[in-house]
Homo-oligomer: A and B are copies of this chain.
């Protein structure tokens, strides 16, 4: 049985309005009366309804967070970053996991719109081409601040915290070139993914600046998944002039490449130098020291939540805010030319 304001009022022998004044800390209530009401509230274990309070303020103390894959620790870290800052600002998180489905993203956005929340932080999924009329319309009509994190939505310009993936692709490729590699491949994910398109652009730019001819055959079209990367790598050494180095555009694909190299008894970096994207926690521990480009997802999460708080506080400031964070090279030796 839940306790209501009028139960409290009755027991404290005051009007409901007086209880209300104490709860909202508004209007004058005699100190003695106030104390009596607070005692009853404590005794009866009364929780003032957040719903009732938020109705009067017409919004909740809540933000929405949408991620494509909650089982991927990368997004766990983004959420941790968001959650750290949200907690400091007394904001709760409503979480949606979309499994990379566009229709689930649209559903989540519509559900959040109904919640009258303070804002949304979202990583759009990678699975599909994003030019979907309903999707863009949903995003543009949402009337709630949206912050994108880590991945952008094409065909519209939204607030967001992003990684400079052109620089990431450039720096990775450039490091391999400085090591003396010239036949450098890139294991790309789906090109509909904006981070992948950007990394590929950076890759081409690095080749160009170093006067190395771009060769289409050194682009391997993976799909972010381990199996495809594994298959592509298995066939790599059958090519004429196989690459001596490979930039790999996601952590799961890095695992696929490593698995194939192990099976083929190929040495890293002697037979193939590699640079991955995103940390893979366990590799170091098993003695595989793989150089990678680090996004710092916890920092991305924190920065996106900071941005949202700032937008909530300064509602009169308009204009799109975009923060681009440069990825860091974490060099561990797998990029060497031996």
Is A79 at the interface (CB under 8 A from chain B)? yes
Q: What is the minimal beta-carbon distance from A220 to any residue of chain B, in angstroms?
A: 18
Is A71 at the interface (CB under 8 A from chain B)? yes
Q: How far is the CA of A287 from the CA of B54 in the complex (A)?
A: 54
Query: Are A62 and B280 in contact, with the CB atoms below 8 A?
Result: no
Query: Are B79 and A95 in contact, with the CB atoms below 8 A?
Result: yes
List the B residue with the shortest CB-CB distance to A97.
B83
What 1/0 flags go to A102-124 for Cβ under 8 Å of B? Answer: 00100000110111100000000
Contact sample, A vs B, 19 pairs, CB 8 Å cutoff: A47-B110, A47-B116, A50-B115, A51-B59, A62-B94, A70-B76, A70-B83, A71-B80, A72-B73, A83-B97, A87-B104, A92-B111, A93-B95, A94-B94, A255-B286, A280-B282, A283-B286, A286-B286, A286-B288
Query: Are A262 and B282 in contact, with the CB atoms below 8 A?
Result: no
Give how many A residues have a beta carbon under 8 Å from the other chain's beta carbons. Answer: 55
Chain B residues, CB < 8 A from A288: 286
Contact pick for A283, options B71, B113, B226, B282, CB 8 Å: B282
Is A143 at the interface (CB under 8 A from chain B)? yes
Contact pick for A55, options B51, B79, B141, CB 8 Å: B51
Is A2 at the interface (CB under 8 A from chain B)? yes
9 more contacts with CB within 8 A, not counting A47-B113, A71-B80, are A49-B55, A51-B59, A51-B60, A70-B79, A79-B95, A87-B104, A255-B285, A256-B285, A259-B285
Q: What is the minimal beta-carbon distance from A106 to any residue of chain B, in angstroms?
A: 13
Contact pick for A94, options B52, B93, B141, CB 8 Å: B93
List the B residue with the shortest CB-CB distance to A256.
B285
Chain B residues, CB < 8 A from A259: 285-286
Is A41 at the interface (CB under 8 A from chain B)? no
Is A48 at the interface (CB under 8 A from chain B)? yes
Q: How far is the CA of A70 from the CA of B93 in the complex (A)?
A: 13
Copies of this chain, whole number: 2
List the B residue with the shortest CB-CB distance to A107.
B87
A71-B73, A75-B76, A95-B95 given as contacts; is B114 within 8 A of A50 (CB)?
Answer: yes
Query: Are B55 and A83 in contact, with the CB atoms below 8 A?
Result: no
A51-B51, A92-B94, A282-B283 given as contacts; is B76 within 8 A of A71 (CB)?
Answer: yes
A73-B71, A80-B71, A285-B258 given as contacts; is B92 within 8 A of A50 (CB)?
Answer: no
Chain B residues, CB < 8 A from A306: none
Q: How far is the CA of A258 from the CA of B83 in the complex (A)?
A: 32
Query: Are B79 and A97 in contact, with the CB atoms below 8 A?
Result: yes
Query: Are A77 and B71 in contact, with the CB atoms below 8 A?
Result: yes
Q: Mark out the residues of chain A between 1 and 33 whose CB falls within 8 Å of any chain B CB in the assembled complex.
A: 2
Is A314 at the interface (CB under 8 A from chain B)? no
User: Which 10 A-B residue pairs are closest in the complex by CB-CB distance?
Assistant: A50-B114, A95-B95, A259-B285, A71-B76, A83-B97, A70-B76, A255-B285, A47-B113, A282-B282, A93-B95
